[in-house]
Chain A
Amino acid sequence: MQRPAWLNQLNHLLDHGDRPWRGLLLASVALVLLLLIGFAILLWTTSADSRQAFGWAFLRPTLDASWNAVSGEFDAWPFIYGTLITSFAALILAVPMSLGVAVFLAELAPNWLRIPLGWMVELLAAIPSVIYGLWGIFVFLPLVVAPVGGFLNQAFNGLPVIGALFAGPVPQSGSSRLAATLILAIMVLPTIAAVSRDVFRAIPGSQREAALALGATQWEMIFQVLIPYGMSGILGAVILGLGRALGETMAVTMVIGNSLEGSASLLRPGYTMSSVIANEFAEAVTKLHTSALIEIGLILFVLTLILNAIARLLVWRVANPALQGKRA
C-alpha cells in the first residue's frame, strides 16, 4: 500500500513515540471508565430537585398515583410497576422458548441448519425497535393481542388472586401491558437464546459422552447434565434478557397505551419508566418535572447496572472462552 508522504514524515518524527502512544491508550481507557462514573454522577446531580422534594415517597407503591406537572406532584410507582410486570411476564414467556431454541441450535440442529438458523435468531435482535413498534401497532395488536387478551380475560377473570391481573376489558386497539409483554418476549428471546446457546457449546464434550455412555437419552443428557452444568451461565443469559426488557423503550412506548389509570391488570393500558421519559422529557416544562423524569432514568440506570453486573459475573464463570465475541 502506498502511503502519503506526510504520513511517512509523521512516522519518522514519532519513531520513538512510545510514551505519547501509551499516554493516548491510557487516556482512552480513562475516558471509557469515566463515562460510566459520569453517568452516575450526572444523573444523580440533575435529579437533585426531585430527590429533595419527594425523597423515598417517590417510589411508594400506590394505586392512585399522581403525575401532574402543574401541581408538581409526582409518583414513580405506576411506571416502576409497568416496567416490572411487563418485563417479568415477558421473561416467563421467553425463557422456556429461548432455552428450547438454544438446545436446538447447540445440540440438535445439523451443521447446515445450525448456522443459518443462528443468523436468523440474531437478525431478530438486529431489527430496530421502532419497526417492532410499528408492526405492533398495525399488525400484531389487532390480530393477536386483542383476541388473546379477550380470551385471557374470560378464562381468568373470576379467579381470586390472578383475576386482578386479567381484569378487562381489553381496549379495542389492543394497546395494553399484555401487548408490551408479548413484544418484549419476542425481543428478548434472541438475547437469551444466543447467550445460552454459547453456554451449551462451552460445556465440555466429556460431560455429554459420560451421560450418554451411562444410557441416558439425549433429552435426559440435556436436562440432567447440561442444564445443571451450565445453570449459572443460563441464569446470566436470563438476567441479560431482563436488562434488555427493562430498558426497551420505543416498541413498548408504541404499544402499551401510555395511560396512568390505577389498574394492576395486564390487559389494561399502562406506562413504563422508559416510555414516560420518551414521551414527556422533550416537552417537560417545569424544573421539577424534568428532574423527576431524570430520577426515573437514574432508577432505571441503577437497576440495569446491578442486573448486568450480576449477569456478566455469572456468564463469565461458566462460559468465558465461548462468550468472546458475543454482544448480548
Chain B
Amino acid sequence: MTTRVSIGDRGRPRIRSESGHIRRRMVNALVLGMTGVMTLVALIPLFWIIGYVVYRGGRYINLDFFLHMPTPLGVAGGGVLHAIQGTIILTVLSAIFAMPPGVLAGVFASRNPQHPLSVAVRFSTDVLSGVPSIVVGLFVYALVVKQQGHFSALAGGVALAILMLPIIIRTTEEMINLVPKTLREGSLALGASEWKTTMSVVLPAAANGLITGFLLGLARASGETAPLLFTALGNERLDAWRMVSSGIAAGQNPISAIIRLVEQPVDSLPLTLFKYSQQPYPERIDQAWAVALVLMILVLLVNIVSRLWVEYRSAKLQG
C-alpha cells in the first residue's frame, strides 16, 4: 500500500490514509466533547438543588424563624431557635473534643514522618474517614449513651468529633509540612525546646491553613444527621439560652449550669430538617425547606470562603 502524502488546504502535510486519519480525529473530538458534556450534566444537580432550596426556603425565612422556638401545629409563626442553639452546642462540643488530640496527632505524624506510629496514624485516619457516619452513631451510643443511661448533647458532640478527627489530623500534618524548615531550625537553634518551638513558632505559622481546615471540618460535622439520631436524639422544647440564664439567675454556678445543659438531649438543624420532612403537615414541610436553606448557606459559605482564602494566601505567597 502506498501512503499518499498531500498538502492539505491549510498547507499542512497529511500523512497516512485520509479516511483513518479523519475517523480518528472525529472520534477524538466526539469523546473529548462528551467529557465536557458529562461535566455539565454532573453539575446540573448542584444548581438544581441550590436553586430549588433557595426558591422554596426563601419564602419562609424571616427574623422570627431564627428567634423563636417552634410553635404547636396550627399556630402560625414559630422558628427553629432550638435547632440553631443545638447546632451551636454540638459544634462547639465536637471542636473541643476533636481539636486537641487531632492537632497533637497531626504534629506527631509530621514530626516523625517515617515512624511506624505515624504510618499507623495516617492509615487509621484514612480508614476512619471512610467509616459510615451511622456506624459512628452506633459506636457512640454504646460508648456514651449506654453508660450514661440517657441521650445527650455530650454524646452528639463525641459523635461529631469522631467524624471531624480525620480532617483535623490530615490538615494539621499537611499545614505543618508547609512551614519552612528554617523557622523551626531557627527556633531550636535559639535554644527553645521542642514543644515551645511547636507551640509558639510552627503552629502559629501554620495557623491560616489550620483554621481553614478546621472550618471545613466543622461545616461537614454541622451538616451531619445520621450520627445524631440516637446520640443527641433531638429536643423540641429545650431553649438552651433560657435554661442556662435562668439557672444562673437562680444562683447556680455557671459551669454546673452548662454541664446540666450538655446532659440534655438537643436538636440540630439537620435533625430538625429530617424530622419535619417526614411529617404530613405542609407547614412543617415549608419549615423543612427553610431549614435546608439555612443549612446550605452555612455549609456552602464556609466552603467557598475558606477556599477563596486558601487561593488568596497561596497567590500571595507565590507572588
Which residues in A have some Cβ–Cβ distance to B below 8 Å? Answer: 1, 11, 14-18, 20-22, 24-29, 31-33, 35-36, 38-39, 42-43, 46, 96-98, 100-101, 103-105, 108-109, 115, 117, 119-124, 126-135, 137-139, 186, 189, 193, 217-220, 223, 240, 243-244, 246-250, 254, 274, 277-278, 281-282, 293-294, 297, 300-301, 304-305, 307-309, 311-312, 324-325, 327-328
A20 to B198, CA, bound (A): 14
Q: Mark B19-55, 1 if CB is under 8 A from A, else 0.
A: 0000011011001101110110111011011001100
User: Closest approach, in angstroms, between the C-beta of A220 and any C-beta of chain B?
Assistant: 7
B128 interfacial contact with A, CB 8 Å: yes
Which of the residues A38, A129, A219 comes within 8 Å of B139, measured between beta carbons? A38
B166 interfacial contact with A, CB 8 Å: yes
* Residues on B with beta carbons closer than 8 Å to the beta carbon of A247: 130-135
Which residues in B have some Cβ–Cβ distance to A below 8 Å? Answer: 24-25, 27-28, 31-32, 34-36, 38-39, 41-43, 45-46, 48-49, 52-53, 56, 100-102, 104-105, 107-109, 111, 117-118, 120-121, 123-135, 137-139, 141-143, 146, 162, 165-167, 169-170, 174, 193-196, 198, 200, 204, 219-220, 223-226, 229-230, 233, 270, 273-274, 277-278, 285, 288-289, 292, 295-296, 299-300, 303-304, 307, 311
Residue of B nearest to A296 (CB): B138
* Residues on B with beta carbons closer than 8 Å to the beta carbon of A304: 130-132, 135
Which of the residues B34, B52, B109, B200 comes within 8 Å of A135, measured between beta carbons? B52
* Residues on B with beta carbons closer than 8 Å to the beta carbon of A46: 142, 146
Q: Is the CB of A126 within 8 A of B229?
A: no
Q: Is the CB of A124 within 8 A of B45?
A: yes
Q: Are A29 and B117 also in contact (CB < 8 A) when A39-B131, A46-B142, A219-B27 are?
A: yes
* Residues on B with beta carbons closer than 8 Å to the beta carbon of A138: 56, 285
Q: Is the CB of A131 within 8 A of B36?
A: no
Which of the residues A31, A193, A278, A325 comes within 8 Å of B101, measured between beta carbons? A31
A115 to B307, CA, bound (A): 11
User: Closest approach, in angstroms, between the C-beta of A249 and any C-beta of chain B?
Assistant: 4
A100 to B101, CA, bound (A): 39
Known: A134-B277, A218-B28, A325-B174. 11 other contacts (CB 8 A): A11-B200, A14-B193, A17-B193, A21-B194, A33-B120, A43-B142, A123-B46, A217-B24, A217-B27, A278-B229, A281-B137
A181 to B30, CA, bound (A): 28
User: Closest approach, in angstroms, between the C-beta of B6 and any C-beta of chain A?
Assistant: 17
A17 to B100, CA, bound (A): 18
Q: Is the CB of B123 within 8 A of A274?
A: no
Q: Is the CB of A108 within 8 A of B32?
A: yes
Which of the residues B109, B131, B134 comes within 8 Å of A249, measured between beta carbons? B134
User: Closest approach, in angstroms, between the C-beta of A197 and any C-beta of chain B?
Assistant: 11
Q: Are A128 and B295 also in contact (CB < 8 A) when A28-B100, A219-B32 are?
A: yes
Residue of A nearest to B27 (CB): A219
Q: Is the CB of A29 within 8 A of B130?
A: no
Which of the residues B28, B41, B134, B167 comes within 8 Å of A220, measured between beta carbons? B28
* Residues on A with beta carbons closer than 8 Å to the beta carbon of B100: 28
A11 to B126, CA, bound (A): 35
* Residues on A with beta carbons closer than 8 Å to the beta carbon of B53: 131, 134-135
A-B contact pairs, 9 of them (CB 8 A): A29-B120, A33-B117, A38-B143, A119-B307, A126-B299, A126-B300, A128-B299, A297-B135, A327-B129
A28 to B109, CA, bound (A): 11
Q: Is the CB of A105 within 8 A of B39?
A: yes
Q: Is the CB of B128 within 8 A of A35?
A: yes
Q: Is the CB of A309 within 8 A of B303?
A: no
Q: Is the CB of A131 within 8 A of B273?
A: yes
Residue of B nearest to A117 (CB): B39
User: Closest approach, in angstroms, between the C-beta of B205 and any C-beta of chain A?
Assistant: 12
Q: Are A250 and B126 also in contact (CB < 8 A) when A274-B134, A327-B166 are?
A: no
Q: Is the CB of B143 within 8 A of A104?
A: no
Residue of B nearest to A14 (CB): B195
Which of the residues A1, A28, A134, A240 comes within 8 Å of B130, measured between beta carbons? A240
* Residues on B with beta carbons closer than 8 Å to the beta carbon of A274: 132, 134, 226
Q: Is the CB of B108 within 8 A of A43?
A: no
User: Closest approach, in angstroms, between the C-beta of A74 and any C-beta of chain B?
Assistant: 16
Which of the residues B25, B34, B131, B233 comes within 8 Å of A305, measured between beta carbons? B131
Q: Shortest 8 CB-CB distances between A and B: which pairs?
A: A247-B132, A128-B223, A21-B195, A100-B38, A28-B104, A308-B130, A217-B28, A249-B226
Q: Are A282 and B193 also in contact (CB < 8 A) when A29-B105, A124-B43, A217-B27 are?
A: no
Which of the residues B24, B38, B132, B288 comes within 8 Å of A97, measured between beta carbons? B38
User: Closest approach, in angstroms, between the C-beta of A143 and any C-beta of chain B?
Assistant: 10
Q: Is the CB of B105 within 8 A of A301?
A: no
Q: Is the CB of B127 within 8 A of A36?
A: yes
A14 to B229, CA, bound (A): 43
A20 to B292, CA, bound (A): 46
Residue of A nearest to B130 (CB): A308
The winner among B34, B104, B130 for most chain A CB atoms within 10 A is B130
A122 to B49, CA, bound (A): 14
The winner among A117, A131, A138 for most chain B CB atoms within 10 A is A131
